[in-house]
Chain A
Amino acid sequence: MNDMTNPATTAAAAPYKMRAGEVSVFYGPKQALNAVSIDIGREDVTAFIGPSGCGKSTFLRCLNRMNDTIPGARVEGRIELDGEDIYASGMDVVQLRARVGMVFQKPNPFPKSIYENIAYGPRIHGLARTKAEMDVIVERSLRRAGLWDEVKDRLADSGTALSGGQQQRLCIARAIAVDPEVILMDEPCSALDPIATAKIEELIDELRGRYAIVIVTHNMQQAARVSQKTAFFHLGTLVEYGDTSDIFTNPRETRTKDYITGRYG
């Protein structure tokens, strides 16, 4: 294959990993998201903030087409991953979800061993040919998720026996294991204590640059600490999107200012 004409190679030069244009989402007759356009930077951590029910999760789930599993959900508009329309008929959803990983609000490890939790994704995608290769993937993923030292002696134990924070890092490791390009995190710390939260934030910082990361959070300080870009959603619309430093110090919209100063939300 000629590298010069490979769309992936040419796209790699573009600054944006994902681009959403005029995305609207309906749950049955109810519109949950109204014409949202956002570009997700290749090496950025992008934070989505906004009051509950404003459509942050809905939008996040559009990015890896998890909304497909909700009966009655309908997505309009265009979302691209490296210039490719992910809602095009030729797009394979299974591969898309391997490329765009997701971490959920409540840690949801599989009720299997820690090893199996990590190995499952690579196995179904055929990423390891031998047990030795799989071992390497498992160790690397757990190391990147900062969990290796805590679990290396108990890989055969159930993933559900870990603490909440460890479970969430296990879920991050599980997402990393299939070598995604984008990681979506939907309030990954909302069920965790402050110490576990700090660990996840540290982890996000370490993963930055290697993956495009999108994180939904209710915690303003967290958004300010971990992200480079911030998007503020309100009532299904994108109110403001820009550099995190600008949003927090010098918001253009009063609604943004009211929200980040705690006037409502």
Chain B
Amino acid sequence: MTSAAATPPAGPTRRPTDWASAEMRARIRRRYRSERLFRLVGLAALVLAASFLAFLLFTIGRNGLTGFERTEVKVTVAFDPAVLNLRPEQLTGPGAEAALGAADFQTVLANGVTNSLGPDGEGMISEGAWLTLRDMLAKRPDLLGMQADVWVPATSVVDQLAKGRLDRAGRTVSADLLLRYDSLERRKLLRTGWNTAFLSVADSTDPELAGVWGALKGSLLTLAVTLSICFPVGVLAAIYLEEYAPRNRWTDIIEVSINNLAAVPSIIFGLLGLAVFLNFMNLPRSAPIVGGLTLALMTMPVIVIAGRVAIKAVPPSIRDGALAVGASPVQVVFHHVLPLALPGILTGTIIGMSRALGETAPLLLIGMRAFVADVPAGVTQPATVLPVQIYLWSDEVARGFVEKTSAAIIVLLMVLLLMNGLAIYLRNKFERRW
């Protein structure tokens, strides 16, 4: 064994690796197989997710697109001052609105329907159709004493018939009504077109008169309250926790609490809002201010967490560099850390706001489920929000609300899309600042 002592390290000899052995080739085959499998599974998951989304969009689109249209009936109306109980001079000046409000448009319309449609007109015109006459006269006072052709909203049943959404053989439509409908159709007194009212008025008990603008504006006002509170507070809290707070038991407790708060079911925030803002602080019920505050409670932890992650991701070397040229801690934060963290903070904020926009449960608890027929003028006025409006409409028995529900969903999705687009735009803009 003398020669063995001279050779370097003794021990089990190692055979050279045989890369072409059967075992190796089997290993390579297995590897390829598992990679193919993984790609297939991933693709399948994607296809499944995409088809769910496509199905959702298709159903909503099919049900909802006609919700943006409404059927109108052409009526020749005589704006008779005697019937209306209006004098021309009353239509100008500050008292005009009150005078119009007191005028008897119902009779004028009823006369017009009898005269121009005859017996066909019965049950064709929406109960709120006279409002169209009022708005028309308000815009054109010169029509007083004249005759005019006016397109007024039809009843929901006519509307649904015109859109082919009602079964003509079904029990909901009487044979008489069908005859009158077909007659109007023949006389070319019906048209179905873009429903401007849907995007400019608030809720109504009649589907043909109901609009989504009240709920949309309620949502926007609520989100404005939420954003103006939870963005500054959330970002400042994140900055304080990351940059200033000492690491001790108290900050640990705060951190755990914030993380837990982000996971608390939203209905609990609703109860909290009910107890604090309505019962204790006596803020107005059903108002965007209360909804906004409640949603701010819910969104704040999301923003704090996103903010902290974004701030943590800013490399410490940037802070060192700024400190070393004599920047104060506040200057370091506002000149260097915050601009670099902003894309992340904004993304987190918009995700939080999107969640707030779709939130329903807490708002039901603070009274935003009330029937509100007026577009809210400010944050203290009674209002409802889009998801609650969708919930309320989906619960309605009237057939016409089905398409309104889907149309409102489309509006909600559009707003969401807009917000996410804004998030992407802001992120790209701030990332390419230099």
Contacts and interface: CB of A to CB of B under 8 A. Distances in A.
Do A and B actually bind? yes
Interface of A: 64, 66, 69, 71, 94-98, 101-104, 106, 108-113, 116, 120-121, 124-125, 158, 171, 174-175, 177-178
B317 A108 contact: yes
B327 A64 contact: no
Contacts of A97: 323-326
Contacts, number: 68
Nearest to B314: A111
Interface string B290-333: 00000000000000000000000001011111111111100100
B247 interface: yes
Nearest to B248: A71
Contacts of B320: 66, 69, 102, 104, 108
A71 B319 CA distance: 15
Contact of B323 (A69, A71, A111): A69
B434 interface: yes
Counting chain A CB atoms within 10 Å of each CB, the highest count among B318, B328, B434 belongs to B434
Counting chain A CB atoms within 10 Å of each CB, the highest count among B246, B317, B326, B340 belongs to B326
Counting chain B CB atoms within 10 Å of each CB, the highest count among A66, A71, A94, A171 belongs to A94
9 closest residue pairs by CB, A with B: A98-B326, A121-B325, A108-B317, A102-B324, A97-B326, A108-B321, A112-B434, A94-B326, A94-B328
14 contacts: A66-B324, A71-B247, A94-B328, A97-B324, A102-B324, A108-B317, A108-B318, A110-B318, A110-B321, A111-B434, A116-B434, A121-B327, A175-B324, A178-B325
Interface of B: 246-247, 315, 317-328, 331, 335-336, 340, 434
Counting chain A CB atoms within 10 Å of each CB, the highest count among B315, B322, B324 belongs to B324
Contact of A101 (B319, B324, B331): B324
A153 to B, nearest CB: 17
A111 B246 CA distance: 28
A94 B318 CA distance: 16
A82 B130 CA distance: 90
A148 to B, nearest CB: 19
A83 B325 CA distance: 22
Given A71-B247, A116-B434, A158-B434, A125 B318 contact: no
